[in-house]
Amino acid sequence: MNLLVDYNLDGYAVILLGILAKRGWLDLLAIQFVSFREAGLPMNSSDRVVWNYAQANQMLILTANRNMKGEDSLEQVMREENTSASLPILTISDLARMDESEYRERCVDRLVEIALELENYMGVGRLFIP
């Protein structure tokens, strides 16, 4: 499972990856976090560009701040382009709580749950974690 990590979560992605490794999940699941920079996407990429890139490259989006305003908002793009074969968008419910270790661990637990049952989440649009 490849996750395209929104630019505002780059530092947290490293922490989440560390938790996944510490718990041994990376030995069992192929989970990779890809930054916008690694994907060749500018930080100011529109939500439509991010969505299309992620779907074309079979990646889930991990975000915390994509908005619901405008014709290129993530919410609007999902409404227009989401199909039963679309990968979900994972949205951190409360970015301010990412400084809490227990919250980060709950986020990892939810990521693992989604990875293990990804086929059940196809086409749902957005999933809030934890």
What does the pLDDT average to over 20-37?
95
pLDDT of residue 121: 97
Model confidence pLDDT, tens digit, residues 91-124: 999 999 999 999 999 999 999 999 999 999 999 9
Please report the pLDDT score of residue 107 as a whole number. Answer: 97
Nearest-angstrom CA–CA distance, 50 and 75: 12
How is residue 84 written in tokens?
Answer: 């039963």
Task: Find all residues with CB under 8 Å of 74, minimum gap 6, and list them.
Answer: 47, 50, 51, 61, 63, 66, 67, 68, 89, 126
pTM (2 decimals)?
Answer: 0.91
Closest CA to 56 of 86, 83, 33: 86
Q: How confident is the model at residue 48 (pLDDT cuts 50, 70, 90)?
A: very high
pLDDT (0 to 100) of residue 8: 85
